[in-house]
Amino acid sequence: MYTIGIDLGGTNIATAVVDENCKIIGEAKTPTNCPRPAEEIAADMIKTVFAACENAKVSIDDIQWIGIGAPGCINQDTGVIEYSNNLQFENVPMIEMIEKGTGKKCYMENDANAAAYGELIAGAGKGSKDFIAITLGTGVGGGIIIDGKIFSGSNYFGAELGHTGIVVDGEPCNCGINGCWEAYASATALIRQTKRAMEANKDSAMWQIAGSLDKVNGRTAFDGMRMGDKTATAVVDKYIEYVAYGIVNVINIFQPEFICIGGGISKENDTLLNPIKAYVEKYRYSKYAKKQTEIKIAKLGNDAGIIGAAMLGRLH
């Protein structure tokens, strides 16, 4: 038997059929195109479920359950996305809609929590009890594993690390608050920072790389830095400082065994990781502790959320 995991992101809906060994055997993907009505997004999620089954050469009857990782605050008791700033959802009965459209039992968890769970059972966290997964994507997701279990607080609004403040009255975040870590350290924030730097420096090599502001992505500044462009290097250095600043806060609060970094930006690997480690070593409160929090790249990459979501039924 198989399960299905859906990673509902602010940019894409990624769905996969997963076997009992946490291996992906068939995938389907479509743009989220938000903001738009939740019913339309749910309809596209359902389409990807059947497309993933077709690509995996299995029937929907072979699927035990469907797991969903979605950004925002997920009420486990009701199956409702109570709030998601990235999707602009409020009180959306997502479980009900997906179960009705697929005929399968569904489970749902915050997307970063699902990614952390994926790393726990099949990735960097295998064999560990206490760690934190940070996802640098459309937003900044935080998944907290304590004693081998997902921590989501007393009301399911816990672990929103991206919405901890790092700058008083700083950049506006689309959650409605200014100065959130997400407003500085997400891929969305990096793209915004890159565009600003390009507009201020018309001779930057990033114009050659992207071609236009509309085509700037999370790699643009990193590619410019590798070309020796000073403007791009300044963007990357400041962006990494924002990421590392937040990670110092996370370590000071939790002192986990390790932190793993996932999401699209994590593909930069050591280019991202090494300066973060240097910053954390300099500024962490626990510098005199014999045992330090390790920082590494998430093992499952962008598949962590899908695999974790697909395995949510194991928790029930």
Residue 52 pLDDT more than 90? yes
Instruction: Return the minimum-mean-pLDDT range out of 8-12, 49-53, 196-200, 308-312.
Output: 8-12
| Domains, the chain | 2-119+303-315 (3.30.420.40), 127-299 (3.30.420.40)
Residue 316 pLDDT more than 90? no
Provide the residue type at 183 as one letter: A
Closest CA to 156 of 39, 260, 78: 78
Edge-to-edge strands of the sheet including 258-262?
149-151, 140-146, 131-136, 258-262, 294-297
Which string of b and e fits 240-269 if b means at least 16 CB within 10 Å? Answer: bebbbbbbbbbbeebebbbbbbbbbbbbbe
Q: How far apart are CA 225 and CA 213, in angstroms?
A: 17
pLDDT band at 50 (very low <50, low <70, confident <90, very high): very high
Position 48 scores a pLDDT of 98
Q: What is the pLDDT of residues 239-280, one digit of tens each?
A: 999 999 999 999 999 999 999 999 889 999 999 999 999 999
pLDDT band at 187 (very low <50, low <70, confident <90, very high): very high
Q: Which residue has the tokens 């700037």?
A: 216
Q: Mean pLDDT of all residues in the chain?
A: 94
Position 76 scores a pLDDT of 83
* Share of residues in the chain with pLDDT > 90 (%): 87
- What's the average model confidence in pLDDT over 164-172? 95
Q: How far apart are CA 245 and CA 179, in angstroms?
A: 13
Position 158 scores a pLDDT of 87
Position 277 scores a pLDDT of 97
Contact 60, 103 (CB under 8 A): yes
Q: What is the pLDDT of residues 109-164, one digit of tens each?
A: 999 999 999 999 999 888 888 999 999 988 999 999 999 889 988 888 888 999 99
Residue 77 pLDDT more than 90? no
pLDDT band at 85 (very low <50, low <70, confident <90, very high): confident
